Amino acid sequence: MIAAALTAVVLLAQTPALSEDCGSDADTLAREAETLLAEAGPRPSAATLDRARRLYRRARLLSPSAPFSLRAADLASAAGDEEESGDLLSEAAEGDPKLVSPAERLILARRGEARRQWRDAIAQYGHLRAALASDPGATAWIDGKIGRLEVEVEAQAISAPTIGQAPPEARLALADGRRALAVGDLPKARERLTLAWKLSPGYVEAALALAALETRESRAPEAIRAYRDALAADPNRLEALVGLANVLWDEPDRAAKEESLSLLDRAAAARPDAISLLKLAATRWAEWGDAAKALNRIDTFRRRAGAGEKRTTENFRETLARRVDAQLSGEAEPGGGPSPSEAPLEGASPAIDQWKIAQAYFRRGDPASLASALEHLGEAERLDPAFARAPELAGALHEKRGELALARAAYERAIAADPSRAATYERLALLLDRQPGREADAEEAWRRAEQAGSSEALFHLAETAGRGGRRGEALSLYRRYLAESPGGVHAEDVTRAIAALESSRRVSVLVLGLALLFVVLAAGAFAYRRVAGRTFEEWLREEPARAREARPIVGRLRHEVLKHGGLLLADAANRLSEPDPEARRAAARLLLSRLFGSRGREGRGGLIHQASDSFARLNALAEEDGHRLNLERKDRLFSPIAEGCRVLRGLEPALSRIAEDPEKVEGNDVRHVAEGLRRAAALFRSNTGAEVSRLLDEASSTRVRLSELQDVLLRVCAEKGVAPPPVLEPLGQLLRDSSGSIAVRVDRGDWDTIWRNLLANALDAAGAMPVSEVRLGVSAELLRDPVTGAPTARFILADNLPGALTAEMIRGRAADRGWGIVADLVRRHDGTADVGPAPAPGYGKGVVLELPALEPEGPP
């Protein structure tokens, strides 16, 4: 019909030349032409032929019948005008197919092929096949011909790809633009991205980035234009398909929405793994009013989705199913969407035609077509090794055939041909993602895709980072994805992921904060335990009188823990290391008995109990004075003992196992126990008990000096109004020599009290005796206990006072109050008080005090 119309137009244009024929009808004109030709004979002249052709043109104008066209075709052929002859023959065949013979059909078909008018050629071959239908064997070749021509038709419809990679300036501008986009400098981003596109028209990444920017800015027309540019450069680019679909869907006009639906379906078909596209498509088809298509897509989605997603779409599917039922009962379904616009053909590479044919075969999908496609792609690669689309399509084709290694090799060839093409990296990465154990290779491919400008890669890298626990990196990548591809295929998933990550981060921060608080509190508690409280030394310095009560506790600690522990532990550790299991068993039993033995056993319990008990008793003493001791953590003398006990406590389970069955206990466990014992022994040795005793002595001892006793006498005289006070005469070398001294194990307070009472009683005993006649003298000497060898200080207060004084009077409770106090204090300090002879002439008697003393510093 189109050919006929064109011919009519031509004829009309020639009408003025036929003015002489005006007013004739078509048949008259035809007869006139035939008359001319008949008169000219079998070989008419060119002028006659020309005249006859014009008459027939006029007749066809008045009556466009097929016979007139057929006769005109014959005349054109006779005149050597094969082009017009073919056109007219075609017109005649179109007007009345029966007029055209099979041979003429074949001529018309060949003519269509020669002109690359594939559809016309297919139609002619179709008529030819129909004309020869009575002999199927004779038409088999026509079927093959038609099949190949249909591939040509499809190939013709395929856009030629953009060739070559973007120049460095364009890539630089794109990178600048993305950076500006990331920091929110949108004007600069737009300027740089536009520049990238201008520097390299067809630079799909630049177009996509620009489209994303415009979408973000709600500049729909600009966004649509940029997406269309991207699709023109790469018709199968997923981000472009989805991005454009989303922007168009928001447009008010119906055509835009129809195109949007079509694009979405294309995207879903291109990426079967992105099932969210199916769900989105279902939703939009439903919104559009086509429940059947929506149902089809949601069913496909649900077949691939997980249980949770199936549940959430259950109601939606039911709704769609009801709507479809309603439509089947009378309503017509809306028609399908328009075909996508395709970019115009470009022919920069000699391989493009082969690639397009391969593409057409690829779309058919049957094994034979795929094989043919591979042949064409091989030819395309041979023709232009730099044409990356050919190996890339070969990769996709191999994937479809399950030939993953070949697919990977093909993608590698495509990358070698064009390292700047993000889509190839994406395909390679998706391929590797599906192969177990190739996660690292896949991630690397995604990284290269990202470097080439793929927003899709950002999503996959974010997913990988999230799975790897790199939350910060995942969050950053997701945000970049949203910034660069706000309407992208994964936008919904990304938004959810960001929300989840931010929530997780808030929880992490909270947990971290709590952990930090816990650490601070624990550190505070630890510091408090280490720093708070007093040491044994500090306590005694403030409460020296407590030394007397602390001494036996410390003595027991030294004896039971330090001495017994020291004797036992190191050797027991050696014995535990013996190869003989019975030796180990015996050692373990001995240790258990000594360290943890029954507390009721002979009233003692084990070493650990003895230590704990000693610590508890010292703490209780200090608490009576309002002090809190920190022997376990702070005290340099006691903390090693506490630590040693802690170590020993930890060994009890292992020791019990060894004692029960030494052969069942691993060598490492036995070594651990032995090491623990040696460590405890070392801790017990680290501070000897002698040092603790020295502290007690220092705190509770008083170095005796004559001058200080004289001061006490002066104070007593002052209190009693005795004046002038008598002199306390030194009796013996020790007190005369100021360099020599005696230290008694009596604290200063008790020492003064003892002497105040002794001297006061003496003055009281003087009675009416004149002061000038009163003689008081004091002697001191250091003795040693004949049995224990312990140093003892003997003091004698001599006087010449009247009246009898006996030991019973001093020691007895019924004695005068002063004597009672003296007796009590002396007893408390493990001393004795007695009455003896005067140590020097001129004195009547002497009160004798014997008190424990410290070892003299110099020779006694």
Partner 1 sequence: MSRVLTLLVVEDGTEYTDAFRSLAATDPRFPIELVRAGDCEEARRVLSERSVDAVFLDVVFDRTPPERLVGDLESEIRRFGGDQRRAERHLAENQGFYLFNDVAQLLPEAVPVVLAYDFSAEPERLTALRKRRERLSGVPDGTPIFRVLEILSADI
Tokens of 567: 């004797």
Sorted by sequence, the CB contacts under 8 Å of residue 851 that are 6+ apart come out as 744, 745, 746, 792, 793, 795, 826, 829, 830, 831
Measured in whole angstroms, the distance separating CA 842 from the mean position of its chain's CA atoms is 98
Decide: is 581 part of the binding site for partner 1 (CB under 8 A): no
Binding-site member from 787, 814, 817, 841 for partner 1 (CB under 8 A): 787
Exactly one of 453, 726, 791, 852 binds partner 1 (CB under 8 A); that residue is 791
- To partner 1, the closest distance from the beta carbon of 650 in angstroms equals 20
Which residue, 117 or 577, is less far from partner 1 as judged by CB? 577
What is residue 853's DSSP assignment? B
For the CB of residue 799, give the shortest distance to partner 1 in the complex, in Å: 22
* Min dist. Cβ of residue 578 to partner 1 (A): 6
The mark string for 299-338 relative to partner 1 (x by CB under 8 A, - otherwise) is ----------------------------------------
- Measured from the CB atom, is 257 or 575 closer to partner 1? 575
* CA dist 60 → 7, 53, 97, 517, 715 (Å): 9, 10, 17, 100, 160
Which among 179-187, 420-428, 629-637, 829-837 is the span making contact with partner 1, rule CB under 8 A? 829-837
Closest distance of CB 813 from partner 1, Å? 10
- Is the Cβ of residue 331 or residue 855 nearer to partner 1 in the bound state? 855
The only residue of 271, 558, 585, 745 in contact with partner 1, by rule CB under 8 A: 558
Closest approach of partner 1 to the CB of residue 696, in Å: 11
Min separation Cβ 853 and partner 1, Å: 11
The identity of residue 826, as a single letter, is: V
Three-state secondary-structure class, residue 797: strand
Cα 223 vs. chain centroid, distance in angstroms?
Answer: 35
Residue 378 lies near partner 1 (rule: CB under 8 A): no
811 contributes a contact to partner 1 by CB under 8 A: yes
All residues at 6 or more sequence positions from 590 whose CB lies less than 8 Å from its CB, including other chains? 568, 572
Site for partner 1 contains 604 (CB under 8 A) = yes
The yes or no reply on residue 741 touching partner 1 (CB under 8 A) is no
Query: Considering only residues 602, 707, 739, 804, which one is a binding residue for partner 1 as defined by CB under 8 A?
Result: 602
Q: Does 833 bind partner 1 (CB under 8 A)?
A: yes
Residue pair 353/168 in contact (Cβ under 8 Å)? The answer is no
Query: Which of residues 14, 503, 574, 733 is near partner 1 by CB under 8 A?
Result: 574
Span 671-710, contacts to partner 1 by CB under 8 A: 681, 684-685, 688-691, 693-694
CB-wise, 43 or 813, nearer to partner 1?
813
Q: Please give the DSSP secondary-structure letter assigned to residue 629.
A: B
* Residue 108 vs 681, nearer CB to partner 1: 681
| Residue corresponding to tokens 């949601």 | 298
Task: Give least dist CB 568 to partner 1, A.
Answer: 5
Is 645 near partner 1 (CB under 8 A)? Answer: no
CA 685 to CA 566: how far, in whole Å? 7
Residue 832 near partner 1 by CB under 8 A: yes
Nearer to partner 1, 582 or 625 (CB): 582
- Rounded to a whole number of angstroms, the minimum distance from the CB of residue 792 to partner 1 is 11
23 vs 603 by CB, closer to partner 1: 603
Q: Is the dihedral of CA 359, 362, 363, 364 positive or negative?
A: positive
Question: Please, what is the minimum distance in Å from the beta carbon of residue 511 to partner 1?
Answer: 47
Could you write out the DSSP letters of every residue in 807-820? HHHHHSTTS-HHHH
Stretch that binds partner 1, among 17-25, 99-107, 366-374, 583-591 (CB under 8 A): 583-591
Of the pair 176, 578, the CB lying nearest partner 1 is at 578
Burial (CB count within 10 angstroms: exposed 0-12, middle 13-18, buried 19+), residue 686: middle
- Contact between 822 and partner 1 per CB under 8 A: no
Cβ burial of 449 (10 Å; 0-12, 13-18, 19+) is buried
Spatial separation of the C-alpha atoms in residues 7 and 11, rounded to whole Å: 6
Q: Which is nearer to partner 1, 96 or 785 (CB)?
A: 785
Query: Of 536-555, which residues contact partner 1 (CB under 8 A)?
Result: 552, 555
Q: Which two tokens stand for residue 857?
A: 């510093």
Render the burial of 531-563: b for 16+ CB within 10 Å, e for the rest: eebbbbbbbbeebbbbbbebbebbebbbebbbe
Distance CA 795, CA 798 (A): 10
Number of residues that bind partner 1 (CB under 8 A): 52
Complete DSSP assignment for 648-670: HHHTHHHHHHHHH-GGGS-HHHH
**809 counts as binding partner 1 under rule CB under 8 A:** no
Cα gap 511→507, rounded to integer Å: 6
Q: Which two tokens stand for residue 784?
A: 């040693």
Give every CB contact of residue 135 below 8 A, 6+ residues apart in sequence. none
Q: What is the DSSP string of 138-198?
A: HHHHHHHHHHHHHHHHHHHHSPPPPPSPPPHHHHHHHHHHHHHHHTT-HHHHHHHHHHHHH
Q: How far is the CB of 560 from partner 1 (least distance, A)?
A: 9
Q: Which is nearer to partner 1, 323 or 575 (CB)?
A: 575
Complex with partner 1: residue 471 or 604, whichever CB lies closer: 604
Structure-derived torsion over alpha carbons of residues 779, 784, 790, 794, reported in degrees to the nearest 10:
-20
Site residues (vs partner 1, CB under 8 A): 552, 555-556, 558-559, 562-572, 574-575, 578, 583, 586-587, 590, 594, 602-604, 681, 684-685, 688-691, 693-694, 784, 786-791, 811, 823, 827, 830, 832-833, 855-856, 860
